[in-house]
């Protein structure tokens, strides 16, 4: 179910302008931030950025590159150039579908998939994530559902997601939702697990260790 929700989110992202957009020149005249690359290297998933030889195999393999503002290869180049704001405002990490094609094909073991996840966490921590994507709202609704119930309540999750993104678009999915309700595949009432407090304690611990809130 969760994977389906992710793909629904992805399908609703405003389409990019094709491959040309993925390789577009950086529009801002952002000053280089030497500390940015070091910060990324220190993150789980970011260490491999050092080893990249800019061969472009990751970008050529990526099924979603046409929707990204910056391809995986270009994202890595921008990190190394210290372009903090451009990277952390980009839609690219959020458009990544975690298919791992780039990672299995990279000749240098860079793991661009893990890098994309690391950049999501970093931009969430700084509150700089792209406003042009709705995936952060989906993640937030997912975490809130876990905090409240200890498990995902699909109806509540989707209501929060659409309320924070585009309530009108919920109408398009209403027939699907009603069908699932009719067949007992969804419940209007959230059921909580025992020990929700323990789940929240674990989440707080993760936040104290540097996880995104």
Q: Footprint of ligand SF4 on this chain (CB under 6 A)?
A: 52-58, 61-64, 72-73, 76, 96-102, 106-108, 110, 112-113, 116
Q: 37 Cβ partners below 8 Å, 6+ apart?
A: 49, 79, 80, 82
142, 2 in Cβ contact below 8 A?
yes
When the beta carbons of 132 and 164 are compared against ligand SF4, the nearer one is 132
Sign of torsion over alpha carbons 67, 70, 71, 75: negative
**Minimal distance, residue 70 CB to ligand SF4, in Å:** 11
Smallest separation, CB 72 to ligand SF4 (Å): 5
Count the Cβ atoms, other than its own, within 10 Å of residue 41.
Answer: 14
Least distance in angstroms from the C-beta of 89 to ligand SF4? 17
* Closest CB to ligand SF4 among residues 87, 158: 87
Q: Which is nearer to ligand SF4, 83 or 153 (CB)?
A: 83
- The smaller minimum CB distance to ligand SF4, of residues 49 and 157, is found at 49
Taking the complex as a whole, the smallest distance from the CB of residue 110 to ligand SF4 amounts, in Å, to 4
Residues sharing a CB contact under 8 Å with residue 22, sequence separation 6 or more, in sequence order: 16, 59, 65, 66, 67, 68, 69, 70, 71, 74
- Give 64 or 145: the residue with its C-beta nearer to ligand SF4: 64
Mention every residue, 6+ apart, whose C-beta is less than 8 A from residue 127.
Answer: none
Minimum distance between the CB of residue 187 and ligand SF4, rounded to whole angstroms?
A: 33
Cβ pair 109, 51 in contact under 8 A: yes
């Amino acid at each position: 179910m969760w994977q389906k929700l992710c793909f629904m989110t992805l399908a609703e992202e405003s389409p990019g302008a094709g491959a040309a957009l993925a390789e577009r020149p950086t529009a801002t005249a952002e000053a280089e931030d030497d500390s940015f690359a070091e910060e990324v290297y220190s993150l789980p998933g970011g260490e491999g950025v050092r080893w990249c030889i800019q061969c472009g195999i990751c970008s050529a393999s990526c099924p979603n590159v046409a929707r990204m503002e910056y391809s995986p290869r270009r994202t890595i180049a921008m990190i190394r150039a210290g372009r903090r704001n451009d990277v952390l405002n980009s839609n690219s990490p959020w458009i990544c579908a975690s298919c791992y094609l780039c990672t299995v094909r990279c000749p240098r073991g860079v793991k661009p998939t893990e890098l994309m996840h690391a950049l999501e966490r970093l931009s969430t921590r700084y509150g700089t994530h792209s406003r042009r994507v709705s995936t952060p709202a989906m993640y937030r609704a997912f975490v809130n559902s876990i905090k409240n119930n200890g498990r995902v309540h699909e109806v509540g999750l989707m209501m929060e997601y659409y309320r924070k993104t585009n309530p009108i678009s919920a109408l398009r999915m209403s027939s699907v939702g009603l069908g699932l309700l009719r067949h007992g595949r969804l419940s209007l009432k959230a059921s909580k697990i025992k020990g929700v407090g323990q789940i929240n304690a674990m989440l707080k611990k993760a936040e104290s260790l540097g996880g995104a809130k």
